[in-house]
Amino acid sequence: MSNHLTFIHTYTPAKNASPRVLLMLHGTGGDETSLISFAGVLDPDAAILSVRGKVLEDGAPRFFRRLQEGVFDMEDLHFRTKELADFIVAAGEIYSFNVKDVIAVGYSNGANIASSVLFSRPEVLGGAILFRVMVPFVPEDNLDLSGKPILLLEGKYDPLVPLENAEHLAILLQDRNAKVSLRWIELDHRIGRSELNDAQWWLSQLVD
Ligand code: MLT
């Protein structure tokens, strides 16, 4: 296992001996600074591992290539998913955290790669909060996500994530035994303050 951390990232240690790590994954055009303020709302004691996607689309960082809006380059998605999963494991060794304590917090493109990690390398995440996420691909039927808490926050008026796609994702997760909550927000692709508060409450209810 390589000890080199191959993504640009920031790491802020936990406070008050919290074991939790929030893995922040930005949307297209963001970077490792974009979601830091969310982390403080979600759990001010958690460690924060915030990562920059390596793919550039007209200069805008992303976590994997797409062929057009909502159409993913699947070969690149699988390659980048493995790369991110390996990074999470290596970061756990270097910063001394347990990957079971990692909650991925992804927005849009960052949420899409987080769901891809859940579908292909579920052992590297303890759970996820996914804002404006869609189905990355249909996973194997025998994938077991037992015990993984996953919160999906979808915009009722989101032009990028069709309602059926969001519902399909919730079913795919549920059918594989994840503990899924799907919330419909009275918004579009943008994130609102009140859903952050909802996510904070959801996170505070999780027990190890
Ligand atoms: C994606 O490419 O991951 C989705 O279309 C969301 C986005 O616009 O980044």
Catalytic residue status for 58: no
Establish whether residue 81 lines the binding site of ligand 1, counting it when its CB lies within 6 angstroms of any ligand atom.
Answer: no
Domain ranges of the chain: 9-204
Q: Tell me the pLDDT band of 1, cut-offs 50, 70 and 90.
A: very low
Establish whether residue 61 lines the binding site of ligand 1, counting it when its CB lies within 6 angstroms of any ligand atom.
Answer: no
Q: Tell me the pLDDT band of 184, cut-offs 50, 70 and 90.
A: very high
pLDDT tens track for 10-29: 999 999 999 999 999 999 99
pLDDT at position 3 over 90:
no
Establish whether residue 69 lines the binding site of ligand 1, counting it when its CB lies within 6 angstroms of any ligand atom.
Answer: yes
pLDDT at position 134 over 80:
yes
pLDDT tens track for 52-68: 999 999 999 999 999 99
Catalytic residue status for 189: yes
Question: Does the global pTM surpass 0.75?
Answer: yes
Average of pLDDT values for 25-39?
98
Topology classification of domain 9-204: Rossmann fold (3.40.50)
pLDDT at 207: 75
Q: What is the DSSP string of the chain?
A: ------S-EEEE--STT---EEEEE--TT--TTTTHHHHHHH-TTSEEEEE--SEEETTEEESS-EEETTEE-HHHHHHHHHHHHHHHHHHHHHHT--GGGEEEEEETHHHHHHHHHHHH-GGG-SEEEEES-----PPPTT---TT-EEEEEEETT-SSS-HHHHHHHHHHHHHTT-EEEEEEESSSSSPPHHHHHHHHHHHHT---
Average of pLDDT values for 117-144?
98
pLDDT at position 208 over 80:
no
Catalytic residue status for 158: yes
For a pLDDT cut of 90, what percent of the chain falls above it? 97
pLDDT at 2: 47
Which residue has a Cα nearest atom 1 of ligand 1? 109
C-alpha of residue 110 to centroid of ligand 1, in Å: 8
Average of pLDDT values for 169-173?
98
Establish whether residue 94 lines the binding site of ligand 1, counting it when its CB lies within 6 angstroms of any ligand atom.
Answer: no
pLDDT at 4: 78
pLDDT at 54: 98
